[in-house]
């Protein structure tokens, strides 16, 4: 669908340019192009809203890890985000089990539900791959993936 919309916009823009060159003021051509862009944006907005519904209650916390991907073992990373209605950052977990942690020395710097921050270091035993980073916000949880290239 996106390709057909893009083709239509390109065709209309080209047509507007040709019509403008043939004697119709360029303001009219710009108006046609602007209206076409508005219609395209409206269509894209509707598609985006229907494609990404709001997460279910209990899974509305948002979390990011920076830098991501990481480059070396022992590198410090920053975990930030918001609690999506939760009470505040309670815990950060990384990895699939306690025997193989992705992050170590996890420290909550700021537990504010509107903007939390934590610091941690990449485990010295970690290799190349992808691992989950979970946050518990007291009623809401969130997850992101941390990519490692060590």
Out of 2.60.40, 2.50.20, 2.30.30, 3.30.530, the CATH code matching 62-148 is 2.60.40
pLDDT tens for the chain, 150 residues: list them: 334 333 333 343 434 343 344 443 433 344 444 444 455 555 555 555 556 788 889 999 999 999 999 888 999 999 999 999 999 999 999 988 888 889 999 999 999 999 999 999 999 988 899 999 999 999 999 999 999 987
What residue ranges do the domains of the chain occupy? 2-51, 62-148
Q: Which of these, 24, 139, 148, lies nearest to 90 by C-alpha position?
A: 139
Instruction: State the pLDDT at residue 61.
Output: 96
Residue 8's contacts (CB-CB under 8 Å, 6 or more residues apart) are: 36
Report how far residue 92's alpha carbon sits from residue 75's, in angstroms, rounded to the nearest whole number.
17
* Ramachandran region, residue 103 (left: φ > 0; alpha: ψ -120 to 50; beta: rest): beta
Residue 111: per-residue pLDDT: 96
* β-strand partners of 146: 131
How far apart CA 138 and CA 119 sit, in angstroms, is 19
Question: Could you give the maximum distance between any two Cα atoms of the chain, in Å?
Answer: 74
What is the 8-class DSSP label of residue 31? H
């Amino acid at each position: 669908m996106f390709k057909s919309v893009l083709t239509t916009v390109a065709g209309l823009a080209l047509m507007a340019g040709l019509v403008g060159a043939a004697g119709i003021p360029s303001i009219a051509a710009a108006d046609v192009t602007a209206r076409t862009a508005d219609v395209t944006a409206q269509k894209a907005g509707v598609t985006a809203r229907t494609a990404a519904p709001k997460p279910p209650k209990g899974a509305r916390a948002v979390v990011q890890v920076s830098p991501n991907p990481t480059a070396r073992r022992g590198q410090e990373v920053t975990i930030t985000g918001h609690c999506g209605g939760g009470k505040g950052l309670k815990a950060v977990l990384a990895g699939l089990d306690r025997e193989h942690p992705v992050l170590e020395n996890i420290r909550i710097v700021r537990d504010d539900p509107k903007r939390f921050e934590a610091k941690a270091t990449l485990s010295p035993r970690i290799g190349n791959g992808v691992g989950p980073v979970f946050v518990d916000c007291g009623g809401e949880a969130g997850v992101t993936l941390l990519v490692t290239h060590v």
